[in-house]
Amino acid sequence: MTEPSKLPHHGVPEHQPAAGGIAARARASAAPQYLTGLNPEQRDAVETLDGPVLVLAGAGTGKTRVLTTRIAHILSQGRARPHEILSVTFTNKAAREMKLRLGQMLGQAVEGMPWLGTFHSIGGRILRIHAELVQLKSNFTVLDVDDQVRLLKQLLQAENIDDKRWPARMMAGLIDGWKNRGLTPSQVPAGEAAVFGNGKGGKLYASYQERLKILNAADFGDLLLENIRLFREHPDVLRQYQNRFKFILVDEYQDTNVAQYLWLRLLSQAASKPGAPLSAVIPGHSDSPVIPGRIEDANPESQYNEDSSRDSGSGPSDHPGMTEDPLPASGAREIGAHPGLAPSSPLKNICCVGDDDQSIYGWRGAEVDNILRFEHDFPGAKVIRLERNYRSTGHILAAASHLIAHNEGRLGKTLRTEDVDGEKVTVTGSWDSEEEARAIGEEIEELQRSGENLNEVAILVRASFQMREFEDRFVTLGLPYRVIGGPRFYERAEIRDALAYLRVINSPADDLAFERIVNVPKRGLGDATVQMLHDHARKRRIPLFEAARAVVETDELKPKARGSLRDLILHFDRWRARREVTSHTELAEIVLDESGYTEMWQKDRSADAAGRLENLKELVRSMEEFENLQGFLEHISLVMDRDGGADDEAVSLMTLHSAKGLEFDNVFLPGWEEGLFPSQRTLDEQGRAGLEEERRLAHVGLTRARRRAKLYFATNRRIHGTWSTTIPSRFLDELPAPNVEITESKGGSGWGGSGGYGPSRFDNVESFGSSYTTPGWQRAQANRARNQNRGGSDRGGFEESQSSFSGSRSDASGSRSDAYSRNEAGGGFSRNKRGPMVIEGELVAKSTGTNSEFSLDDRVFHQKFGYGNVVKVDGNKLTIAFEKAGEKKVVDSFVERA
C-alpha cells in the first residue's frame, strides 16, 4: 500500500518529514521500542513484510539483529502468530541466539515458535509427523556417520566388493554429496554412479536406502531429501505447510545447498485451493508449467553455463528433475502438471538474509548461485543492502571491499563505517615460516604489554598444518592459546597415534601408548586379545609389551592374531635397533610407513584424510628442531601440560573457515602465499570458481578484525619436510595501497622489508664472527661484492632470485603448484625427497639467477604441464613450449629431461 504522504495531490509536491524536525521526532517516539537504534537500511529490511526480500548483509552489519527484529515486528503487527513463522538457520548456536534475543524483545511469545531451528531439525520434525508416507515410522532412528559406514560395509560385503579398495567411508561421502544435491538413487547420473565399486555405486545407493527403511532409520541427508520426496508425492501435505507458514525467514542463505534450496522453494510457493488447475509456473515464465519441486529455469544453461566457471562437472543435471531434452519452442521445459498449485501461484513472504561475499563452503555443497539468482527465482523481489559496518575500522573495510571487488560472481556492495579510519592493514614478509611465527609471537607480546586482552587476539590460518609452529612458539614464550574448531595440533587423533608409536620405541614399558596402537591400523587384535595381555601382564607384573612377547610364544591366541602380534613385536625390535644408527626424523618416517599407518590414511577416502596426512608430515618436520627422540617427546609433554582454564585469557588459533561469525580486536593472517592461499589444490580442481571462493575466504579473514589486521607471508616455507621458495599471494596485489602499510618483520632474523626484499643477514660480516668461513657464506659475500661493483643494490643477489618469479601470475602459480603437488601426490613419506639441509647462506646462493643446466631445444617434462621444448633460457628460469599447455615460464628445478 502506498503511504498517504506519497499520494499526489493535484500537482502539489510530495512531502516527507524533515530530518530532525518536529514531525520526524514525534514519529520516532511513536515507533515500537524494538525499532529504535536501527539504521535506515536495517529498518527497511524489518518493515518490508510483503513479498520476497533479499537482505544482503555484509560482515558486521547487524544481520542477526535484523532477523530477530523482523520476527518481532511481524508478531507485534499481528501479521502472523508464532507458529505461523518458519525461521531456519544453519547451526543450533544461531537458533539459540535468535530465541534468546527474541525472548528479550517479546518475553514468552518466543516459546510458541516451534518452527525456529536448523534446516535439518525442522525437516526431521516434519518427517516424524508424516513418517508413514515415506515408509518410516515416527520413532525412526537418525544414524550417525559411524553407523552409516557400518551399514555400508555390510552392503559392500554382500556385493563382494573389496572394502580396502573401495572404502565404505568413501561411499558414505558420495551418498552424502548426492543427497546434498537432492538426488534420489534413480536421479544420480550414470557417470557418477559408476565411479565406485566397478560401476555399482548407484546400486549400492539404492540398496542403502532400502536397508534404511527396513531398519526404520534415516541419515542426516534424508531429513531434507525425504521431505522433498514427501512434498512432491503428496501435494496435500505440501499445501498444508504452505498454508501454515505465512512468513519464511532464512539465515546465511549463501550457504544453502541444492537440497535446502529445493525444500525452501517448495514451501515458498503460496498454495492454491484443492481442485485448482494442475500446474505451477516457473518464476518469471508465466507460460511454463512445471512440477513443484522441480525448480527449473526455462533456460537452465543460464545458471550453469561456461561463464560461471564452476569447473566441478556440475551442469543442469545437478538439480534433480533437470533433463537433457531440448527446450520446447516456447522457451520452457514441458515437465507436466502436479495437483495442488494454480497456474500463477504467488510467492510467499520470504526473507533471505545472506552475504554472497562470505560464501566459503563450496567444498561441502554450498551453492553461491542460490543467492546470486534470488531475483530471478523470486521475480519482483526487493533487495536491501546492509553496508554500514559496526565492527571494523575504515582502513580494514576499505581493504576488504577493494579485495572482494575483484570477484565477478557477486551482487555487489561496499562496506562503510562512520567510525575512525584506525590503523592501516599491515603486510609483513619474513624469511621463512619459523621467522613468521617468531614475529607474530613478538607482536602479540607487545600487545599484551600494552594492556590488550589475549582473548581479543586471533591467528587465522589457511591450513591446519600451519598451526604447529605457532603452538610450539607460544609454549616457548609462555603465551596461553586455544585452538578453535578442533583439537590442538598434538591432541589430534593421528598425532597421538604417531606419538604412541614413538613412545613405545623410546620406552617399551609405556602401556598406555602400546594399548593405543596395538590394533591401529587394524591387525585383527580385538578387545579380547588386549584383555588377555592385560591379565598376563598383571599376573607376571610386567609391561604389556613384554606380556605380548610372551603370549605369542604360546597357543593362547588364534593363529592369525598371534601372527599379527608377533609381526608388531618384531617391527618394534627392529625400529628400536635402528634408533642407534638413524636420525629420529627418518626413524619416524620409517615407523609410520612400515607400520601401515600412513597407508591407512592414504586409503581412507573421507574428506579429512588428506589433512591428517599433512599433519603427520608436519609432525615429522617439527622433530628436526630436536637433537633426539627423547628431547622431542619431553617437549611434547610440556606442550600437552599447558591446559589453562576455560575462562583464562588466551590467543585464539583457528582456520579461516572456523573463524566465520567471530570477531576480534587484533587479527593475524599468516601464510598469504601462492599455492597456500589461494590454495593450489582448490585452483586446480575448481578453476576460477575456486579462486573466487578463496578470495571470499580472504575477505572473511580481513573482516574478522575490529581494530588491527596484520597479513604475513614467508619467502620460504617448508611443506612436509621440503623447502619451497614461495611468492606472495596475488591477493596482496589486490589490496588498495592507500589503506596498507608495509612493515618489517620482528622475528629477529635480520631479513627486513617484505619477505626478504630488504638487507640480507649476510651484509654484516661481524654478526657471524671472524671464523665464519663456510662456502655458502663466502659465495653470498662474493655475490654482494659483485652487485656493489656493478652499481647494484646490496641485496646480495636475492633481488635477482625474486625477479625469476616476476613473470605472469599463472607461471608463478604453476611452479608453486609443482612444489605442492610433489608433496601431496602420494601422501606417504619419501625419504629421498627431503629438501637440502643446508645453511641459509647456501640456500640464498641457490636462489640467485645462476645458469641453468638446460639449453635451447632441450626436450623436458613438467609434472603439471607435461612434455615440451625449451625455447628460452634466462638464468634458472626457462620458457618452455609445452605440447598441451602452451608456452610457460618455469624454474628449471621443476622440470627434468625427457
Tell me, yes or no, if 184 is annotated catalytic.
no
Q: What is the pLDDT of residues 14-52, one digit of tens each?
A: 666 676 677 766 655 556 778 888 999 999 999 999 999
Scanning the structure block, which residue is given the C-alpha cell 575466504? 697
Query: Worst-scoring range by mean pLDDT, 24-28, 293-297, 668-672, 684-688?
Result: 293-297
Check: CB of residue 25 under 8 Å from CB of residue 223.
no
Return d(Cα 143, Cα 133) in angstroms, integer. Answer: 20
Burial class (CB in 10 A: 0-12, 13-18, 19+), 734: middle
Tell me, yes or no, if 445 is annotated catalytic.
no
Q: How far is CA 147 from CA 182, 429, 493, in A?
A: 22, 48, 20
856: helix, strand or coil? coil
Check: CB of residue 255 under 8 Å from CB of residue 283.
no
Q: What is the CA radius of gyration of the chain?
A: 31
Tell whether omega for the bond before 678 is within 30 degrees of 0, i.e. cis. yes
Tell me, yes or no, if 144 is annotated catalytic.
no
pLDDT value for 641: 57
Check: CB of residue 613 under 8 Å from CB of residue 602.
yes
pLDDT value for 346: 60
**Which residues are CB-contacts of 248 (< 8 A; sequence separation ≥ 6)?**
85, 86, 87, 88, 264, 267, 268, 348, 349, 350, 351
Return d(Cα 836, Cα 843) in angstroms, integer. Answer: 8
Strand partners, 431: none
Check: CB of residue 334 under 8 Å from CB of residue 668.
no
Tell whether omega for the bond before 4 is within 30 degrees of 0, i.e. cis. no
Q: What is the pLDDT of residues 43-87, one digit of tens each?
A: 999 999 999 999 999 888 988 899 999 999 998 888 999 899 999
> Which of 358, 585, 680, 682 is labelled catalytic?
358
> Which of 41, 42, 61, 63 is labelled catalytic?
63
Q: What is the pLDDT of residues 581-594, one digit of tens each?
A: 888 989 999 999 99
What is the 3 state secondary structure string of 481-497?
EEECCCCCHHHCHHHHH
DSSP string for 805-847: T-S-HHHHHHHHHHHHHHHHSS-S--TT-PPP---HHHHHHHH
Strand partners, 352: 54, 250
Angle of helix 201-214 relative to helix 145-158, nearest 10 degrees? 120
- Of 256, 325, 273, the C-alpha closest to 296 is 325
pLDDT value for 782: 58
Cell digits for 876? Answer: 634458472
Instruction: Count how many residues are written for the chain.
Output: 898
**Which residues are CB-contacts of 79 (< 8 A; sequence separation ≥ 6)?**
49, 246, 247
Return d(Cα 757, Cα 671) in angstroms, integer. Answer: 17
**The pLDDT of residue 785 is above 90:** no
CA–chain centroid gap for 855, Å, is 43
Check: CB of residue 102 under 8 Å from CB of residue 68.
yes
Tell me, yes or no, if 704 is annotated catalytic.
yes
Strand partners, 85: 247
> What one-character DSSP code corresponds to residue 141?
E
> Which of 44, 47, 48, 64 is labelled catalytic?
64
pLDDT value for 640: 64
Amino acid (1-letter code) at residue 228: I
Q: What is the pLDDT of residues 299-354, one digit of tens each?
A: 323 333 333 333 333 333 334 333 333 323 222 222 233 333 333 456 679 999 99
> What one-character DSSP code corresponds to residue 781?
H
| Rounded percentage of the chain residues whose pLDDT exceeds 70 | 74
Tell me, yes or no, if 64 is annotated catalytic.
yes
Scanning the structure block, which residue is given the C-alpha cell 588491527? 708
Answering whether pTM is above 0.85, one says no
Return d(Cα 756, Cα 668) in angstroms, integer. Answer: 19
